Amino acid sequence: MKSQAWSRAGVTAVVDSLLTVLLAMLNIPVLVLWVIGLLFSPVPVLGMALLTVATVVVRWRAGRERVHAGRVGVLIRQPYSPPPANAEIDSRRRLTWIITDPATWRDVSWLLPGALVGLVLGLIAVAIPLYGLCGVLLLPLWLFLGDVPFGYGLFWPITNTAEAWLALPQGLVVLAAGLAVAPLLRTTDVLFARLFLAPTAAAELRFRVQHLTTTRADAIDAQAAELRRIERDLHDGAQARLVSVGMTIGLAERLVRRDPTAALQLLAEARESSTAALVELRHLVRGIHPPVLAERGLEGAVRALAMSLPVRTAVTSELPGRLDTPVESAIYFAVAEALANMSRHSRARTAWVTIRHDQGVLLVGIGDDGVGGADPERGTGLTGITRRLGAFDGTMALSSPRGGPTVVTMEVPCVLSSPRI
């Protein structure tokens, strides 16, 4: 079993190395095109057109290499700065953006060394197993033809059947060695490309700042929207009721001597209104930070939520501690939205929630066996989850093919603050 996996990895690496050789050969014409583009750049229209094509081709080639690296599990992220506004429309601005991006020049500087390293390592990775294969095939060829005009390994040329037989073990050894070495050569080539094609530390930092700026803006927007909602809820709900309580009591005051029965009735109405206002205030508080969350933590609050649903929902949780309050609250509301979607849209018979914390990341999954076809474009709830979690560097992934099932996965990097008592 193990040897099967090992040889499969070897064969894949050899095939990939063949592709590496072909791609590496492309580097040279791409480099030539870039140089031509640069040389002609002062020429008014032609220069710009050539340079635009050249930069697109360079980026395409570098992109192919990143994808090719991904096949051996080495992730090379895009290092480019984001385009300026209107870059799509204004071609001169777009070109300036590409040319002044240091990542473009790093792509270009990789083309030649990348071609050399790719060619050498790729050819070695392909040649060794190929030579091994020749050894394996030599015996049937000898037996078929009765003679071959060439040799193999230790015997050169082959003069008798015994030597032809001995080519077989030699071929097998070379083939095995080739399959063993090919993945190493592939990885070496990819790591070399990564030196040039991955973002530099400065670029990583720039991306991080951009990401933080976006998520901070989202967080501020979300806060502002939340404040507006609370303000509206207070204004239209409890505040309106308290105003009416005040007016009813005032009326009762005026009536108390003249018509005590009517005054008593008004006071009863006022009491009812004040009870309703209290209920509304409780609901509002629950919407800001549900008491059950404060008392029982995420797991308890999600269990309570699941129990209140019409669909049978199993909750599995492995959380050996408490989360920080803001993260806990964000996750709770995200789970609440996903579960609300499940009961509103999915027509599911059963649903499940899993919560666990692994290597500094909180992983929450919400799934149902309903009709599927969830689409963040059709509402505000799912995008709201993404924005809510984004403020904590978290992410949401959605899988919901038509016919179901729907699975929402949330990941938020966070620490468990204190162990549960």
Contact window for ligand ATP (CB under 6 A) among 224-232, 277-285, 317-325, 374-382: 374-382
Contact window for ligand ATP (CB under 6 A) among 35-43, 62-70, 226-234, 368-376: 368-376
Kindly state whether residue 380 participates in binding ligand ATP, applying the rule CB under 6 A: yes
Cα–Cα separations (whole angstroms), residue 212 to 221, 363, 415? 14, 21, 19
Which CB atom, from 27 or from 400, has the smaller least distance to Mg ion?
A: 400
Which CB atom, from 27 or from 406, has the smaller least distance to ligand ATP?
A: 406
Give residues with Cβ within 8 angstroms of 198, minimum separation 6: 76, 77, 79
How far is 45 from 308, CA to CA, in rounded Å? 68
Which CB atom, from 64 or from 229, has the smaller least distance to Mg ion?
A: 229
Which CB atom, from 17 or from 341, has the smaller least distance to Mg ion?
A: 341
Which amino acid is located at 322 in the chain? R
Kindly state whether residue 387 participates in binding ligand ATP, applying the rule CB under 6 A: no
Please count the other Cβ atoms lying within 10 Å of the Cβ belonging to residue 237: 17
Kindly state whether residue 287 participates in binding ligand ATP, applying the rule CB under 6 A: no
Which CB atom, from 51 or from 382, has the smaller least distance to ligand ATP?
A: 382
Question: Minimum Å distance from CB 344 to ligand ATP?
Answer: 6
Kindly state whether residue 27 participates in binding ligand ATP, applying the rule CB under 6 A: no
How far is 293 from 301, CA to CA, in rounded Å? 5
Lookup: tokens for 324: 């920080």
Do β-strands 312-318 and 321-323 pair in parallel, antiparallel, or remain unpaired? unpaired
Q: Where in 361-400 is the site for Mg ion (CB under 5 A)?
A: 381
Kindly state whether residue 375 participates in binding ligand ATP, applying the rule CB under 6 A: yes
How far is 220 from 212, CA to CA, in rounded Å? 12
Lookup: tokens for 197: 């094609």
Size of the site for ligand ATP (CB under 6 A): 19
Closest CA to 66 of 35, 103, 101: 103
Question: Minimum Å distance from CB 351 to ligand ATP?
Answer: 8
DSSP 8-state symbol, 89? T
Which CB atom, from 102 or from 381, has the smaller least distance to ligand ATP?
A: 381
How far is 34 from 309, CA to CA, in rounded Å? 62
Question: Minimum Å distance from CB 366 to ligand ATP?
Answer: 8
Q: What string marks each residue from 330 to 349 as x (binds ligand ATP by CB under 6 A) or -?
A: -----------xx-xxx---
Which amino acid is located at 175 in the chain? L
Q: Position of tokens 């579960």?
A: 339
Which CB atom, from 213 or from 380, has the smaller least distance to ligand ATP?
A: 380
Cα–Cα separations (whole angstroms), residue 347 to 383, 399, 401? 21, 16, 14
Contact 237, 406 (CB under 8 A): no
Which CB atom, from 127 or from 340, has the smaller least distance to ligand ATP?
A: 340
Q: Position of tokens 């239209």?
A: 236
Do β-strands 406-413 and 361-368 pair in parallel, antiparallel, or remain unpaired? antiparallel
Which CB atom, from 32 or from 309, has the smaller least distance to ligand ATP?
A: 309
Q: Which of 368, 387, 389, 390 binds ligand ATP (CB under 6 A)?
A: 368
Number of H helices, E strands in the chain: 11, 7
Which CB atom, from 55 or from 406, has the smaller least distance to ligand ATP?
A: 406
Lookup: tokens for 43: 């020429």
Kindly state whether residue 346 participates in binding Mg ion, applying the rule CB under 5 A: no
Kindly state whether residue 51 participates in binding ligand ATP, applying the rule CB under 6 A: no
Q: Which of 170, 248, 341, 400 binds Mg ion (CB under 5 A)?
A: 341
Kindly state whether residue 389 participates in binding ligand ATP, applying the rule CB under 6 A: no
Kindly state whether residue 68 participates in binding ligand ATP, applying the rule CB under 6 A: no
DSSP 8-state symbol, 344? I
Helical packing angle, 161-197 and 102-145, nearest 10°:
170
Q: From ligand ATP, Mg ion, none, which one binds at residue 170 (CB under 5 to 8 Å depending on kind)?
A: none
How far is 135 from 148, CA to CA, in rounded Å? 12
Size of the site for Mg ion (CB under 5 A): 2
Question: Minimum Å distance from CB 43 to Mg ion?
Answer: 56
Residues of this chain that interact with Mg ion (CB under 5 A) are: 341, 381
Residues of this chain that interact with ligand ATP (CB under 6 A) are: 341-342, 344-346, 368, 370-376, 378-382, 406
